[in-house]
Amino acid sequence: MEETSLHRNLVIACLEDHPRATVMLRIARNRALQMGGRWRIVFVETLTQAAPANNGTQERMLRLLTLAAQMGGETMHITATNAESAAAKMLEEEKNQIALLIVSGMEYHRIFRIRRTVSETIAGYAYKKRIPVEVLQVSGQYRYSLLERFRMFHFRHILYALCSVGVAYLGALALRYFLSPALFRINTQNIGLLFMIACAFSAGRFGLIPGLVASVTSFFAINYFFTAPYYQNSFTSVTDLLNMGIFLSAAFLISFFTSQTRNVAEKSARRELSMQVLFNLYRITSGVASRQQALEKLCDHLARTLKIEVAFFLPPAINPEGIELTYPHDIILRDADVKALELCWKEMKITGLGSPSFRDSAWRFNPMLAQSGTIGVIGVKPNNRSQIYVWFGEMLMTIADQMATIIENIELARTMETTRISEEREKLRSMLLSSVSHDLKTPLASIIGALNIYHSRRNQLDDKKRTALIETALGEAERLDSFITNILDMTRLESKKIHFKQNWYDPRTPVDEVLKRLEYRLRNHKIVLHAYEEKTEVYMDSMMTGQVLQNIVDNACKYTSSGTTIELRMMTDKDKGFYYEVRDHGGGIPPEKMERIFDKYARLQMRDSQIAGTGLGLAICKSVIEAQGGSIKVANHPEGGAIFTLHIPQWRVAGSAKKYA
């Protein structure tokens, strides 16, 4: 028992709507401070309460829960079927930690009280569980102004209930008109059913009070218009009194249970709406690329789903301590709204509508808190104050936290992308330096040396030696051009500045251009071309595809010895697409390097004794082909050498509109 008591450090106060509710907050906090524990404010809302348990009460309870959170306490909103299940839900989970339960014992001015209050039910349940209970005696309840009463009871709904009774009366007149007197007297019970329908409709559509008004009005209408003696309300006989009692009892019960069903349906709909809004927050921002796009989508989603005005306020880059409207840009705030916004930002607490601070503001401001701190402020403006429920305030707090996380993740992703680009630039810079120092300098030195010898000893050299020097300079110049082209192409691909111009081309076109450009490089190799016999057209960017083929053929020249054969094959598959295959007859690719052969900069990791190159050619090939919807693969041929396969998905027979993919 002693060990259990050491763990009882939780003080719970059950909050109800009365003028001294703030006293309960202070008492709960003081009791928790005395015990060195924590305290929690709980608002219980049962499904059998009238919905909305009047808007004034909801707004006050939301304000009190917000105040409790600002005072350092925990808050809890329980929605249960009845007070008994609410008590079980509140006390069972942490009954071994509850040191004290504080409830209000209000004075009632009613003579008859059929059912106990929620606080009394919870207190009785706590006594059974041996939980200490402190009853705070408070007097009186809120006195509502005429405007508040109008909001509470919605007198227009009573008018609608009377109209529904009028429709039932017209239906009864229609029965009297179309039926014979004898048949009408036989079916007099249908008159009561018509008015019962009006009562059920009023209760289900507008609530209990309109349903009860419809019940009483229906009874007097039946008694006056359709019960003998007609056109007077007579209760002279026991039968009249009995009929009145039976009808009113049935109408009251129908109205009561119909209104309860309505309340449950409304609160269930609110919970479903909350879940839907929260679930969709991450989904709608999954593909956004910037913070501004995220704010636009989130604002549109919340405004459309919750039927409210939404605004986001974030600190400007030049003044991180300040706060300004970020989206949308057409929001106009009053002086009270601006002060509430500034207080929310400076003190990181909820202000405005339904809060203790600047409650006259038309907006409710929630700070958006993330792990890195306060991201900004979200402001919402309901169309009317009747939207301010406790669940609405809780949902806004959750939305604010989730949106802070979303914005933080977007900023983090942007920072990571910036870092990645910076690292890629650094790699490119290092690669350029390496290329200039070795791979680019070597062919330049060869070109300069060959041309210098040709210039200084031109008259002393025979035609064969002069031709050899010119060919050496030309070959090294072409190799240098290939290096620089690869570097520039990779830079343009990474910056996404290459726009592919795809169209229907003859697949021989890029092949012929490549063989022409590499004619000098291929002088020591034998090229075998296996062309597709049927004239076809391929949907591709002919120039960029030619660059891919050039890089692959150039690699085959580099890594195979003179005199070997390079095969280039074109073929189609109706179900899969068009294929280029380039096969050399060299030593093949080492298995340990097969997986990384298309990686950028892999070539730079080779020793100086290796064949010169930037290591970007195959990486460019992969990027270009995939950007066109295709793919590239490499494998070692069973008979020796490497074979590169380029796949382009769309092709057709030349002159035909039928496409294959």
Other CB atoms within a 10 A radius of the CB of residue 56 amount to: 21
Q: Reply yes or no on whether the pLDDT at 199 is more than 70.
A: yes
Q: Give pLDDT, residue 240.
A: 65
Count of all residues that appear for the chain in the document = 661
Other CB atoms within a 10 A radius of the CB of residue 426 amount to: 10
- Cα separation, 438 vs 430, in Å, equals 12
Q: Give pLDDT, residue 504.
A: 92
Q: Of the ranges 114-128, 445-459, 633-647, which one carries the lowest mean pLDDT score? A: 114-128
Work out whether strand 98-107 and strand 133-139 pair parallel, antiparallel, or are unpaired. parallel
pLDDT digits (tens, 9 = 90+) for 113-126: 445 667 777 878 78
Give phi and psi for 334, each to the nearest 5: -80, 175
- Cα separation, 385 vs 367, in Å, equals 21
Q: Give pLDDT, residue 194.
A: 83
- Six token digits for residue 543: 């120039």
pLDDT digits (tens, 9 = 90+) for 386-430: 566 777 777 888 888 888 888 888 878 878 877 877 777 777 667
Average pLDDT over residues 461-477: 80
Domains of the chain: which residue ranges? Answer: 2-148, 154-263, 285-415, 440-498, 499-660
**CATH architecture of the domain formed by 2-148:** 3-Layer(aba) Sandwich (3.40)
Between 302 and 175, the higher pLDDT residue: 302
499-660: CATH topology is Heat Shock Protein 90 (3.30.565)
Residue linked to tokens 């990181």: 348
- Cα separation, 304 vs 326, in Å, equals 19
CA angle 186, 188, 189 (to 5 degrees): 110
- Cα separation, 550 vs 541, in Å, equals 14
Work out whether strand 642-648 and strand 577-584 pair parallel, antiparallel, or are unpaired. antiparallel
pTM for the model stands at 0.50
- Six token digits for residue 531: 């062309």
Residues of the chain with pLDDT > 70: what percent?
Answer: 80
Q: Reply yes or no on whether the pLDDT at 655 is more than 90.
A: no
Is-contact 429 601, C-beta < 8 A? no
Average pLDDT over residues 513-533: 85
CA angle 38, 44, 50 (to 5 degrees): 160
Average pLDDT over residues 204-216: 80
- Six token digits for residue 438: 């070795």
Other CB atoms within a 10 A radius of the CB of residue 108 amount to: 11
Q: Of the ranges 236-240, 313-317, 329-333, which one carries the lowest mean pLDDT score? A: 236-240
Between 457 and 602, the higher pLDDT residue: 457
Angle between helices 463-494 and 617-627 (to 10 degrees): 50
Is-contact 128 162, C-beta < 8 A? no
Residue linked to tokens 């290329």: 435
Cα 414 to the center of its chain, rounded Å: 18
Average pLDDT over residues 43-58: 61
Closest among 99, 149, 144, 394 to 275, alpha carbons compared: 394
- Six token digits for residue 121: 């039910």
- Six token digits for residue 532: 């597709």
Question: Across the strands, what pairs with 18?
Answer: none
- Cα separation, 194 vs 175, in Å, equals 11
Residue type, 336: A
Average pLDDT over residues 316-325: 83
Residue type, 523: R
The pLDDT mean for the chain works out to 77
Q: 285-415 belongs to which homologous superfamily?
A: GAF domain (3.30.450.40)
Residue type, 33: L
Between 497 and 269, the higher pLDDT residue: 269
pLDDT digits (tens, 9 = 90+) for 278-317: 777 777 777 677 788 888 888 888 888 888 888 999 988 7
pLDDT band at 5 (very low <50, low <70, confident <90, very high): very low
CA angle 58, 82, 93 (to 5 degrees): 95
Closest among 355, 352, 385 to 64, alpha carbons compared: 355
- 641 by DSSP, 3-state: which? coil
- Six token digits for residue 521: 């490089």
Closest among 231, 226, 197 to 214, alpha carbons compared: 197
Most confident of the ranges 38-47, 206-215, 392-401, 539-548: 539-548
- Cα separation, 599 vs 293, in Å, equals 33
Give phi and psi for 307, each to the nearest 5: 60, 50
Q: Reply yes or no on whether the pLDDT at 150 is more than 50.
A: no
